[in-house]
Structure 1
Amino acid sequence: MIGYNPKDWWKLIFAFHRSDTFRFLLPGIAGVAAYTGVVAYVENDVFHASFKNTTVVHSLVGFVLSMLLVFRTNTAYERWWEGRKLWGSFVNNSRNLALKLHAILPRDSAERETFRVLIINYIFAAKEHLRTGVHVKKLAQTGPYDTDFYQQKKHVPNQIMGAIYQEINNLYHNQNITGDQLIVLNSELQSFTDNLGGCERIKRTPIPYAYSLFLKKVIFLYVFTMPIGFVIEFKYWAIPIVAIIFYVFASIEVIAEEIEDPFGTDANDLPTDIIYETIKDNLEEIL
């Protein structure tokens, strides 16, 4: 995720980075401009066409298309923001669990180190699980929880959480914690799985195919029929006008496509790497 100062208008207006939609859409913008130029030449210089009220239809359709794009953007942003709330909950849950274990476990106990490693591993595994998959060799090892243990199941976060539950259960059976403390710790552990389940729901439930397909078709038809009417009224000035309109509408769709899956490594995705480092630093300090 890119950090920036939202109040620095001039820097943002003239900034171009790898995620900027203008760079991504530049070939399409050039193609639309060339296509509009050809239509302008054919209608004005070859056929000398003269239509009346040529922009009315596109004005009406443009309003409907704008409403569709607003809905599309809001839906994508809701998914992005929900993902951010879930990862914020990961931070809070990790701190709360670590603070409770810090109060319960003796300072010199080996269990403190085990829980610290397992919780950090769980957050790392959750982050990578939502991307391309977990490389178990990157997980820290402690006691019986080595690489062979982590790769026993395809769902690595579940495997790690199972180990944490087992360690909590061992504390209870060894009478290191009471039944009330077991209940308190269980509520924190359950929230980890709930958060990951919410992230998986966002990851695996894209915008309905029919809606996305329809919106792209409408944008295509709207832009590629626009020069037919606009070049009569605006002549060759229709070239930049149509190109700008294509840039605006297509950019909204491209941005929505990027942020609707917020757990990757794109410039506008959630800063899960930074959140993971924050949790890691907190747990190392607490435990």
Structure 2
Amino acid sequence: MITYNPKEWFSFIFRFHKGDTFRKLLPIMLGIAAYSFIIAYLELEYWQLSELSHVKNITVMHTLLGFVISLLLVFRTNTAYDRWWEGRKAWGALVNNSRNLAIKVAVMIKAKEDKEIFRKLIPAYSSVLNLHLKNADISHELFEDAILAADHYKHKPNQIAKTIIAKVNELYEQGKITGDQLIVLNAEIQSLTDICGICERIKNTPIPYSYSAFIKKFIFIYVMTLPFGYVFMLGYLVIPVVTIIFYVLASLELIAEEIEDPFGYDPNDLPTAKLAEMIQKNVEELIY
């Protein structure tokens, strides 16, 4: 995730980060500029269309559809941001619940060897969940004396949650914790699985294909028809104008595509790896 100072907004104008849409759209923008030049040349120089040509009236279509396309893009961006923010709230809850679980384990469990197991298992859940959401390869070795079985388990976060539950239940059967303490710890562990489900729902349920495809086609048709009408009013200035309009519209769609799945490796995705490291530090400070 890109870290920045939102108060230094003026510097953003002249700085192009690798996550900026300008770099990604630059080849297409050059193509749009060349296309606009060809249309302007044909209408002004080759065909020499007059001001009375009906082609000039195409701008009426853009005036009518401009409001529609703005509504679609606003809805698209808001929907994508809601998914990004929901993912951030889920990981915020994971941080808090991991701390709460660690605090209760530190107080309720007395044996040092039992504490040491939870000291490794609790942060391991967030680390594995981070890799799980990125579809990354997860090592089968959880730590020195515990193995994640590759063949039996495909869902690694579930396996760690099961291991934690099994250990808590073992402590109860051994009389090291009471029934009330078992209920309290189980509730905290269940919350970890609930958070995993929220993140998987965001990741595995993208924006419907028809909706996303329609917006892209709409933007393409809208921009491709702009030079035909506006060349009569702007002349060759239609080239930078159409290019800028395309940059604005396409950037909004590109930003929405990037943030609707906040668990990847894109510059604007959530810093889940850093959050997992923070959870590990907090748990190791609490359980000792």
Find out whether 1:60 has 2:64 as its counterpart.
Answer: yes
Render the CA deviation track for 1:68-107: whole Å, top value 9, x for unaligned.
Answer: 000000000000000000000000000000000000112x
Q: Residue 120 of structure 1 aligns with which residue?
A: 123
Superposition deviation, residue 142 in structure 1 = 4.6
Deviations 1:18-38 (A, max 9, x none): 111000000010000000000
1:93 — aligned with what?
97
Check the 8 A contact 1:77/1:260 in 2, yes or no: yes
Query: Structure 1: which amino acid aligns with 2:123?
Result: I
Answering whether residue 122 of structure 2 is matched by residue 129 of structure 1, we say: no
C-alpha distance in structure 1 between counterparts of 2:2 and 2:228, whole Å: 40
Residue 147 of structure 2 aligns with which residue? 146
Q: Distance in 1 between matches of 2:26 and 2:185?
A: 53
Tell me the amino acid that sits aligned with residue 94 of structure 1: S
* 1:260 paired residue number: 260
CA shift at 1:54, angstroms? 4.0
TM normalised by structure 1 equals: 0.96
Match of 1:104 in 2: 108
- Check the 8 A contact 1:125/1:134 in 2, yes or no: no
Aligned to 1:286: 286
Contact 2:132–2:138, Cα closer than 8 Å, also in 1: no
Quote the RMSD (CA, aligned, Å).
1.3
Whether 1:269 aligns to 2:269 is yes
Pick aligned residue for 1:70 from 74, 98, 114 = 74
Alignment of 1:192-211 (within 5 A): 192-211=192-211
1:227 equivalent in structure 2: 227
Deviation at 1:150, TM superposition (A): 6.0
Q: CA deviation at 1:12?
A: 1.1
- Which consecutive unaligned segments of at least 5 residues does structure 2 have? none
- TM-score w.r.t. the length of structure 2 is 0.95
Go from structure 1 to structure 2 and tell me whether the alpha carbon gap of 1:28 and 1:239 turns closer, same or farther (over 3 Å shift): same
Mapping 1:22-41, distance limit 5 Å: 22-41=22-41
Correspondence for 2:188: 188
Q: Describe the SS at the equivalent of 1:160.
A: helix
CA positional deviation for 1:42? 0.2
The answer to whether the 8 A contact 1:79-1:260 is kept is yes
SS at match of 2:262: coil
What runs of 5+ residues in structure 1 fail to find an aligned partner? none
Aligned residue type for 1:70: V
Contact kept, 8 Å, 2:29 with 2:247, in 1: the verdict is yes
Which residue identity is paired with 1:222? Y
Separation in structure 2 between the aligned mates of residue 62 and residue 151 of structure 1, nearest angstrom: 55
Q: CA deviation at 1:133?
A: 3.0
Q: Distance in 2 between matches of 1:188 and 1:225?
A: 57
**Contact conserved, 1:122 with 1:161, CA < 8 A, in 2?**
yes
47, 72, 83: which one aligns with 2:87: 83
3-state SS of 2:143 partner: coil
The alpha carbon displacement at 1:171 in A equals 0.7
For 1:220, the aligned partner's letter is F
Match of 2:215 in 1: 215
C-alpha separation in 1, matches of 2:255 and 2:4: 17
Tell me the distance in 1 between the aligned counterparts of 2:238 and 2:63. 15
Q: Runs ≥4 in structure 1, deviation > 6 angstroms?
A: none
Letter in 2 for 1:65: I
The C-alpha deviation readout for 1:11-66, integer Å capped at 9, x for no partner, is: 11111111110000000100000000000000011111133444221121111001
Q: Is the 8 A contact 2:172 2:179 kept in 1?
A: yes
Distance 1:240 1:2 in 2: 30
Letter in 2 for 1:237: L
Separation in 2, partners of 1:213, 1:53: 28
